Amino acid sequence: MQLLKSSIGRKILMAITGQAMVLFAVIHLLGNSSIFGWLPGGINAYAHHLHSLPAPVIIGFRLGLLVFVCVHVWFGIQLTIENRGGRPQQYAVKTLQKATFASENMIWTGGLLVAFILYHLLHFTFQVVSPETAALSHPDSLGNPNVLGMVVAAFQNMFVTLIYAGAMVVLFLHLSHGIQSFFQTLGWSNDRVQPFITKAGTLVALGLFLGYAAVPLTILLRILK
């Protein structure tokens, strides 16, 4: 399979998995935003909704995401290692004309994202980080898991908020390069649309950053209680 072996093929797989995760991130954000009350019952009702989906759907979804992350991470590491060997000796003077901080550090921002995702899963999905506020074991008055309580409790802690906000900066960096990169890698780009795609990609990344960072920050600032 040339897709799995060749340089372009593996890049395409990375791009597709990466973009799928972006899509997930967008949906996830929309769901999260129910915390601001647009859904009757708020985020707790939303959580309940998700939990009441048929088990195979949930498992399938989670497995799918896991595969995507693994493929993305696997090829990301593989390609990066290969690329480090592409120029065995660096130039005495480093001059970059187009590359950006974000594009140069994809592997590091990606790595931080892995770490963050693990923490985030343990924190809010498996809820083992602070069991005393775990939503699943503390239902709200309607019987939904008290996600709001859990989240508010967590983000009143400055330290936790900083971790989340920091991770979102990292996500922004990763995607400010990654989204436009996806279009280029799949060949959905040319000189006319490329500047637009780059801008739009950065905007989406910024949107995700603002959206995600809004929750912990509004809680920390006691706007959301």
Partner 1 sequence: MSDHKTMTLTLIVWRQKNASDPGKFETYTAKNITEHHSFLEMLDCVNEDLIHTGKDPIVFDHDCREGICGMCSQVINGAPHGGQDRTTVCQLHMRKFKDGDTIYIEPWRARAFPIIRDLIVDRSALDKIIQAGGYTSCHTGGVADGNAILIPKPVADEAMDAAECVGCGACVAGCPNGAAMLFTGAKISQLALLPQGQAEASARVRNMSDAMTECGFGNCTNHYECMAACPKGINVKFIARMNREFLKAQFA
DSSP 19-48: HHHHHHHHHHHHHHGGGGS-STTHHHHHHH
- CA torsion 91-97-102-103 (nearest 10°) is -70
Triad 189, 191, 196: Cα angle to 5°: 70
Site string (151-190) toward partner 1, x via CB under 8 A: --------------------------x--xx-xxxxxxxx
Site string (162-201) toward ligand HEM, x via CB under 6 A: ------------x--xxx-xx--x----------------
The piece of 49-57, 97-105, 131-139, 203-211 that touches partner 1 (CB under 8 A) is 97-105
DSSP character at residue 58: H
The piece of 33-41, 105-113, 132-140, 159-167 that touches ligand HEM (CB under 6 A) is 105-113
- Sequence-ordered list of residues with C-beta below 8 angstroms from that of 124, at least 6 positions apart, any chain: 135, 147, 150, 151, 154
| Closest to ligand HEM by CB, 23 or 50 | 23
Which one among 13, 106, 170, 214 touches partner 1, defined by CB under 8 A? 106
For the bound state, the minimum distance from the C-beta of residue 4 to ligand HEM, rounded and expressed in Å, comes to 16
Please report where in the chains the tokens 């069991």 appear, as a residue.
Answer: 131
Site string (108-147) toward partner 1, x via CB under 8 A: ----------------------------------------
Interacting partner of 56 out of partner 1, ligand HEM, none (Cβ under 5 to 8 A depending on kind): none
For the bound state, the minimum distance from the C-beta of residue 52 to ligand HEM, rounded and expressed in Å, comes to 26
Of 12-41, binders to partner 1 (CB under 8 A) are 12
- Sequence-ordered list of residues with C-beta below 8 angstroms from that of 135, at least 6 positions apart, any chain: 44, 47, 124, 127, 145, 146, 147, 149, 150
How far is 38 from 79, CA to CA, in rounded Å?
43
Collapsed DSSP state (helix, strand, coil) of residue 145: strand
The residues binding partner 1 (CB under 8 A) are 2-3, 6-12, 79, 82-83, 85-100, 103-104, 106, 177, 180-181, 183-191, 194
